[in-house]
Amino acid sequence: MSFDYFLYKGVKFSPGSYSQELLQYVENEFQVLDDDVYIVTYPKSGTHWLIEILSLINRDADPTWCNSVLIWLRSPWIETKEGQLQLKDLSSPRVLTSHLPFHIFPKAFFTSKAKIIYVMRNPKDIFVSLFYFAKIICHYKDPESFEQYLEDFLQGNILYNSWFEHVRGWMQMKDNSNFFIITYEELHQDLRGCILRICKFLGKELGDSKIDTIVKHSSFEAMKENKMSNYSLGTEEYIDHTKGTFMRKGTAGDWKNHFTVAQSEHFDRVYQEKMKDLNMKFFWEG
Ligand code: A3P
């Protein structure tokens, strides 16, 4: 798509789904309820996987809701124009989604009892996923080339700025009891164990067979088949179905099929520089 990003407090947004007024409203006036749960992610970290899991947990593993209501209506994005309209129809307890960086997240959250689940993923895999996603989703600028887009990603010259800023900002919350971190890689390695940990964080107790049902319905294959979750019903203004599919590959480590050795080493150098004083070791760092 051809448009210019605009800045809100230093963060890039596209004009279609976002506006200065809306972002200002979301930051300063949005009403956070104590029983809200927010899925917060940098784009392509596994946001929709979590929406599916939480949709199932909140309905005691009954898949009817997931099979009958579109995923973006089950957990709307608080910072988009569409999301703000959609969330008016939700009843409590709400599960809401956001890609907002820490410094512009709704202020009311920080004095509430609401919870955040922050999903992280190996940024090299995020980049590959985003490279394909940006080609099909209309509020992203089209990547010129893999090489150029990699530079844009590393410099944060894209929608929602850089992954590094996002993670560094949100890690200020890491010791808070209402903030839970989970990685895409952990979900892959032990989905059942992750669902149990999420249930514990949410104070939800479900028996073994219900947990098994959630595992089954939140698998990549199940979500890819589910028209309510796979974006095949996304409208033309939002997604160009001729250029790719939303449920693309669903694997960990796909970056190895895309990066040259030089690109990977360059990425590692930038990563180390930008993350050096964070003193946290992430799952994908081994
Ligand atoms: P790929 O493009 O690597 O396939 P987000 O929801 O944050 O936009 O992230 C989308 C990524 O998560 C895509 O990655 C998508 O395929 C993957 N994904 C979505 N649901 C998944 C699931 N149930 N299991 C594994 N990966 C999933």
What value of ipTM does the predicted structure carry?
A: 0.99
* Rounded CA separation 262/203 (Å): 46
Residue 272 identity: Q
Distance of alpha carbon 22 from alpha carbon 178, whole angstroms = 26
CA of 208 to the centre of ligand 1 (A): 25
Q: Return the ligand 1 atom nearest residue 254 CA.
A: 3
pLDDT for residue 286: 76
99 catalytic? Reply is: yes
The predicted-structure confidence for 204-236, as pLDDT tens digits, reads as follows 999 999 999 999 999 999 999 999 999 999 998
pLDDT for residue 1: 63
CB 132 within 8 A of CB 251: no
pLDDT of residue 191: 98
Which of the listed residues 50, 117, 121, 129 should we mutate to test ligand 1's pocket, taking the one with most ligand atoms within 8 A of CB? 129
CA–CA distance, 186 with 180 (Å, rounded to integer): 13
From the CA of 140, how far away is ligand 1's center (Å)?
Answer: 17
Ligand 1 pocket test, pick from 39, 42, 47, 49 with the greatest ligand atom count within 8 Å of Cβ, gives 49
- The sign of the torsion formed by the CA atoms of 97, 141, 272, 267 equals positive
H/E element holding 104? Answer: none
pLDDT at site 139: 87
pLDDT, tens digit (0-9, with 9 covering 90-100), for 92-138: 999 999 999 999 999 999 999 999 999 999 999 999 999 999 999 98
- Please give the pLDDT value at position 284: 87
pLDDT of residue 243: 92
Torsion of CA 53, 56, 60, 65, to 10 degrees: 170
Please give the model's pTM, rounded to 2 decimal places: 0.97
Query: Cα separations (Å) of 161 from 14, 15, 18, 270?
Result: 12, 15, 14, 15
**Containing H/E element for 120?**
strand 115-120
Q: Which residues of the chain have pLDDT under 50?
A: none
Distances (CA, A) of 40 to 116, 180, 276: 7, 10, 23
Q: How many Cα atoms are found within 13 Å in the side-chain-facing hemisphere of 169?
A: 18
